[in-house]
Structure 1
Amino acid sequence: MAFTAPGLTAEAANEVTGTLQERLSALNDLHLTLKHIHWNVVGPNFIGVHEMIDPQVELVRGYADTLAERIATLGGSPRGTAKAIEADRSWDDYSVDRDTVLAHLGALDLVYDGIITSHRAAIEKVGKVDPVTEDILIGQTAELEKFQWFVRAHLENQTGDLSNQGAASEEDAAAKSRG
């Protein structure tokens, strides 16, 4: 790196930008997954879920932009290509195609589990080095948790149990949520 933010060493900036790059790829993948769901959801409550997803897409795209700009601010070069998503991916590609509202929401709940857990791990990692980046990730995580709450509201029964409870994969979560 030719430069970084004042007060950060090049080594620290490298550590932070590496973490942010993985998060950037995860968010780019998430906004594509959300759009896929938006296009492939069918059945009762279609329009409500269809319209619920688009604001999530836009906010997640904005989160990706924020992380890319943070990488650049720290002297790195953000990679926003499909190849970068593939290279950084430690998760499986979204596996549900055209399906019911509940099937997609059951699977999406597991996607949010992974994204939020990984964001929290990134917060832990960068917080020791760069509190500015930590703050960005904390704000994003709070909103991602709220999105998951919106999804879970469709999956929850009157006793608080989720229809996809205990699912080990997106396909399993979709099947459990379908009923």
Structure 2
Amino acid sequence: MTSFTVPGLSAEQGLTVSNTLQQRLSTYNDLHLTLKHIHWNVVGPNFIGVHEMIDPQVETVRGYADAVAERIAALGSAPKGTVGAIEKDRAWDDYSVGRDTAQAHLAALDVVYDGVIKSNRAAIDQVGEIDKITEDLLIGQTAELEKFQWFIRAHLESAGGKLANEGIPTEKGAAKAAR
């Protein structure tokens, strides 16, 4: 760790915020790889729509990783963007669905977005009292992720408003329910 951070924060505060952001960086790196995996492995009648819907999400999440990494550096810490960092920081299982239907992948992805959004909201709470700039960064990113989840859920929703994977907390279980 360096001995500086952004003006208005102590080195200790900068480190605290950086540590929270490192979790987000690993999450975003994992998420954009998961999204690309889905892009490559989705099949079935809705293939092209889902295939093309996923790529902008990949690019946006890659951009989030870059913004978070740059904020970590500005705060005086070194961002870690390696596979080892993803695995070290991971508090979730690796994405578990291989080649499968659009509905199966979307239901599993809904579970992934639940986890990412919940952990982003916790990170917002953690940094909010310390650094409003980082809080703002994460709020904007989380809002867009919630919109992406809405896109996913629109494919899973019945005319009566029920999700095909409603109440199922695992990717495999959600995928099975949506098939």
Q: TM-score, normalised by structure 2?
A: 0.99
Gaps of at least 5 residues in structure 2 are none
Letter in 2 for 1:85: I
After TM superposition, give the deviation of residue 2 of structure 1 in Å. 2.2
Letter in 1 for 2:165: N
2:56 aligns to what?
55
Distance in 1 (alpha carbons) for counterparts of 2:143 and 2:134: 14
1:18 aligns to what?
19
Letter in 1 for 2:54: I
Letter in 2 for 1:18: N
Gaps of at least 5 residues in structure 1 are none
DSSP 3-state at the match of 2:66: helix
> How large is the RMSD of aligned CA atoms in angstroms?
0.4
1:139 aligns to what?
140
The aligned length equals 178
Superposed CA offset, 1:68-127 (max 9, x none)? 000000000000000000000001100000000000000000000000000000000000
Superposed CA offset, 1:18-68 (max 9, x none)? 000000000000000000000000001100000000000000000000000
After TM superposition, give the deviation of residue 166 of structure 1 in Å. 1.4
Moved segments of 4+, more than 6 Å:
none
Superposed CA offset, 1:128-156 (max 9, x none)? 10000000000000000000000000000
DSSP 3-state at the match of 1:51: helix
Pairing 1:89–2:90 present: yes
1:176 aligns to what?
177
Q: TM-score, normalised by structure 1?
A: 0.99
1:103 aligns to what?
104
Distance in 2 (alpha carbons) for counterparts of 1:2 and 1:65: 23
DSSP 3-state at the match of 1:93: coil
After TM superposition, give the deviation of residue 168 of structure 1 in Å. 2.2
1:46 aligns to what?
47
